[in-house]
Amino acid sequence: MDSNTQMNLLQLTNENASMEERIKMLQAENSILEHKIKLMEIQQTHDEAVVTVLKNHIEERRAFNRLLRDDSNFSPSEMERHAQIREEIINEHEAKKRAKVSPKVDEQEKK
84 and 57 belong to one structural domain: no
Does 89 lie in the same domain as 63? no
With bands split at pLDDT 50, 70 and 90, how would you rate the model's confidence at 97? Answer: confident
The answer on 60 and 29 residing in a single domain is: yes
Question: Lowest-confidence range among 42-56, 65-79, 87-101?
Answer: 65-79
Structural domain tally of the chain? Answer: 2
**Per-residue model confidence (pLDDT) at position 37:** 98
Distance CA 89, CA 38 (A): 38
> Looking at per-residue confidence, does 83 or 45 come out higher?
45
102 and 54 co-located in one domain: no
Rg of the chain taking only CA atoms, in angstroms: 33
One domain for residues 57 and 87: no
Q: Is the pLDDT of residue 98 over 90?
A: no
Q: Is 102 in a helix, a strand, or coil?
A: helix
Alpha-carbon distance of 57 to 51, in angstroms, equals: 10
Question: What pLDDT is recorded for position 53?
Answer: 94
Domain of residue 92 covers 75-111
Secondary element (H or E) of residue 53: helix 3-69
Residues 49 and 96 in one domain: no
pLDDT of residue 103: 63
50 with 68: CB under 8 angstroms?
no
Reply yes or no on whether the pLDDT at 111 is more than 60.
Answer: no
